[in-house]
Structure 1
């Protein structure tokens, strides 16, 4: 029996060694594509960011701005503003500001590629108030005073206009750095009602004097559909290109969007 067990052990080791093979998987990188992030807010100038998409296995994940493009924005009055490139891949306007109810056309020429898009700024909806408190964990309350409060609970309050289809996007910056970019929702369940939206930020390193900026945007349906197709992820439009690209309101390009929207912003200073 001992001889048989030894033989079986040797046979098992033989097959284990014989079946071990190093497989070299060759990954074919997709060619970088142009990514467009363009927006104009009510009472703000237009800004357009042009970058190249990042490969899934790229060693360098630094976003590379795309320079020397011809970028312009126009309105229904026939006014045209040619944007200036202020740094690699960043283009800004200096004459046309966003106005609620106005429709804007974006035009980009980059090499032989021509990209166009249209977006309309919806009616303005006022952000009534923003209440921010430190809590021990999401929905956990402020504790007993002895527990560490590592989270900020951010509550937004506003009234949704009745009998209008409204689409919203919320952005949060902490000390000027983006923390949340793609939270979107509509008024399907709160048409004409007081809306309360609660968000949480994990900031165990927060200190007195830090700033939290909360921005509510009213966006049009094509922009809402774009962010909805992104799955409400916090990555934004600058992520890696994938086999299933998100919906876009751009004509002539597959990655990115053009948003004309209202802007309601509240700032909070950590006491």
Structure 2
């Protein structure tokens, strides 16, 4: 059974395994640059949690990613005790047996070669997926034909909320056609809304899993800037334009503490209801 630490006044600590299906973010650097890169995610999942640490260096014009071994990685709720990750393979740090809860700030510390890199992220409440709807798109030009999906939610009133949608087809992350599906409730605060996507289509026989992530503002801004820079391809275009990280001391990457809800359907069964 996973440990659940509640701050009344005890603090909650928890961690999430970065999905092996997640795309790796690539950073373009100046010829003489070397960058420290951290990708860390904490969610309300019971799965073990992972932090990826690497260095990115250009050699003769080509980017090279090097796992960083020997870092000290820990996470804590604000004012809480730190829990430490084990390095399970070079550059991959994992912690098991703890669960995060919404409503708290979480802090990641990565210490390496005498430098401490710190980031904090706020975990918002889960926003459930209420329903889905599908409409057929005929396609044209470079756009494939298939079913587009709307994901319906009830946005919590009175707070700023930020979302990211991810799609998995037959248990594999869907080709996003260069689109990062991000949303802010600035225009629909407290309302029922259907969240759609511009480019992705799915086929009638697909088993589709939709993951609705409730992210914080800093992470929304990070991915929004990334999409603006690179057209959503999760690859930076130039070193001066890399998105602003929430890590200190010049580290690239991001730390996100988010909750999520998932819904899985077989499209042909759903549209024939």
Shorter-chain TM-score range:
0.7 to 0.9
Provide Cα deviations, 1:229-262, integer angstroms capped at 9, x if missing partner. 22354333x6465122312211123411111111
Query: Is it true that 1:98 corresponds to 2:100 in the alignment?
Result: yes
Distance 1:115 1:162, change over 3 A: same
State the partner residue of 2:184: 186
Distance 1:136 1:30, change over 3 A: farther
- Unpaired runs of 5+ in structure 2? 1-28, 269-273
> Counterpart of 1:127 in 2: which secondary structure?
coil
> Counterpart of 1:222 in 2: which secondary structure?
helix
Provide Cα deviations, 1:16-74, integer angstroms capped at 9, x if missing partner. xxxxxxxxxxx961323111111101234432122333649744x56443222211111
CA contact (8 A) 1:43 1:99 kept: no
State the partner residue of 2:82: 80
Query: Which of 221, 231, 247 is the aligned partner of 1:250?
Result: 247
| Cα distance in 2 between the residues matched to 1:131 and 1:89 | 41
Query: Which of 47, 53, 56 is the aligned partner of 1:53?
Result: 56
State the partner residue of 2:70: 68
| Cα distance in 2 between the residues matched to 1:43 and 1:135 | 34
| Cα distance in 1 between the residues matched to 2:68 and 2:227 | 26
CA contact (8 A) 1:245 1:254 kept: no
Specify the structure having the higher radius of gyration (Cα): 1
State the partner residue of 2:159: 164
CA contact (8 A) 2:210 2:262 kept: yes
The size of the alignment, in residue pairs, is 231
Decide which moves more: 79-88 or 128-137: 128-137
> Counterpart of 1:97 in 2: which secondary structure?
coil
Q: TM-score, normalised by structure 2?
A: 0.72
- Unpaired runs of 5+ in structure 1? 1-26, 139-148
Query: Which of 204, 221, 233 is the aligned partner of 1:225?
Result: 221
Q: RMSD of the TM alignment (CA)?
A: 3.0
> Counterpart of 1:230 in 2: which secondary structure?
helix
State the partner residue of 1:33: 35
| Cα distance in 1 between the residues matched to 2:66 and 2:169 | 24
